[in-house]
Amino acid sequence: MTDQEIKKEFETIKEEIELLEKHLSNIEGSLKQEKSSFNFNDFIQELTGAIILALPFATNADIWEISKSMSWIHAVCLLIAMVFGIYMFIKYSNFGNWKIQNVAGFLPLRLITSILISMVVSALILIALGIYPAIVDNVNWFVKTIILVSIFSVIGSIGLDAAK
């Protein structure tokens, strides 16, 4: 081979390598999954998960009795433990499809939505099934029952959202 042919062959190989690099970068870009912000689908998933786990616990007489005998200190401690547990789950779980969205710079949006949805769902289920005011007959007992049912409801809420 002459020098001219070697240079031509070298240029052809160089062009093919550049073309392959371009294709590899396109493939890499298409394989990267964009992290999703909290949207309506996430809301529906959290709502569904909360309902799925709130229903069986809201209809359980043992839950009503535990919440009736539970002090406010215990109720507040359970609420703090629930918030802390969900915070740690969101903060340190490695979900590649969740975009970090903080409210006030440090509070994850998914924490707020998951807990609020769980509390509202728990309250509405207790009311819809007639448990409040027929069985759980005062507001203090009702609020403590909501907290207790929400512990399970929030697991369904955040779990179903994470499973997507």
Per residue in 103-120, pLDDT tens?
A: 777 788 888 889 999 999
pLDDT at 95: 63
Helices and strands per DSSP (H, E), number in the chain: 7, 2
Q: Which two tokens stand for residue 43?
A: 């809301």
- Cα 42 from Cα 137, distance rounded (Å): 34
What does the pLDDT read at residue 99?
Answer: 61
> Mean pLDDT for the chain?
85
Distance CA 156, CA 49 (A): 4
Question: CA 21, CA 17: separation in Å to the nearest integer?
Answer: 6
pLDDT, residue 102, reads: 73
Confidence of residue 36 (pLDDT cuts 50, 70, 90): low
Q: Where are the alpha helices (DSSP H) in 32-138?
A: 40-58, 61-69, 72-92, 109-128, 131-134
Q: Determine the average pLDDT of the residues in 87-106.
A: 72
